[in-house]
Every structure is written in C-alpha cells, then in structure tokens.
C-alpha cells in the first residue's frame, strides 16, 4: 500500500514539474541540403514551431513561398530541421526570455548572412 501511495505522489510531483517547466526556447533553422539555403526563425516553443513548419510544408501551405517551392522541387529528404541555439532557463524571476530569443535570432541571421549560405526571407 505504501508503494502505491508514493507512486501516486511521485506522479503528481512529476506532473506539476512538467506544467511549471518552461518550453524549450531559442532559434531554429530549416536548411536546404541541395543549395544550403536556410530559414532561420525564433520561437518561444521550439518543439511546437518545428512541428508546425514541418506540417505546413508537408501539407503544401507554408507561408514562405520560396521555401515551399524548394520543398516541392527537392522533397522532404533534402531538408534538415535543427535547433541552432537554445536559451537556458535563468534563476532571475524577471529575466526577459523574449528579448533574449530576439537577440539570438539577430546574431544568427547576421552570422549566416555574412557566410556563403543564403537565407529564406
């Protein structure tokens, strides 16, 4: 009986911890392996954003027309979905995660624009 109670208590603790945890935030890219071109965006929920972009591309309704055209031309196997940089959780209660994510995006766009890879805009 004690084990059953402790298991239920542990499950409640895990559920609460999950609800209180911040989603993964940061910058992600969708890279075309044929030409090296990338879509680089920020997100306050990386998992959700990557899933949404993948679903929109598969459905043929992605809002970036150039990316959508390349997806149709080359196929899903020629694209990589990747987290470029993730924001780490901070102990400060007033830390501005949105500003941090925006700063990361600007840094990644500048870094990639200065290189040989073109960006989807």
50-67: per-residue pLDDT in tens? Answer: 999 999 999 999 999 999
Most confident of 34-38, 53-57, 91-95: 53-57
CATH (domain of 28) = 3.40.1440.10
Q: Is residue 49 part of a domain?
A: yes
The proportion of the chain whose per-residue pLDDT surpasses 90, expressed as a percent, equals: 71
Q: Specify the number of domains making up the chain.
A: 1
In a domain, 37, yes or no: yes
Is 6 domain-assigned?
no
For 59-89, how does the pLDDT look when each residue is reduced to its tens digit (9 = 90+)? 999 999 999 999 999 999 999 999 999 999 9
Query: pTM for the full model?
Result: 0.81
Q: Which sign, positive or negative, has the C-alpha torsion 121, 72, 27, 35? A: negative
Owning domain of residue 71 = 23-114
Residue 88 lies in a domain: yes
Structural domain includes residue 119: no
């Amino acid at each position: 009986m004690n084990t059953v109670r402790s298991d239920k208590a542990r499950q409640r603790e895990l559920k609460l911890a999950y609800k209180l945890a911040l989603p993964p935030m940061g910058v992600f890219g969708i890279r075309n392996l044929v030409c090296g071109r990338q879509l680089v965006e920020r997100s306050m929920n990386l998992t959700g954003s990557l899933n949404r972009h993948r679903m929109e591309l598969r459905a043929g309704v992605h809002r970036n027309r150039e990316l959508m055209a390349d997806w149709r031309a080359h196929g899903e196997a020629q694209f990589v979905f990747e987290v470029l940089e993730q924001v780490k959780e901070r102990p400060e209660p007033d830390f501005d995660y949105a500003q941090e994510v925006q700063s990361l995006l600007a840094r990644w766009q500048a870094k990639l624009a200065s290189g040989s890879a073109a960006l989807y805009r």
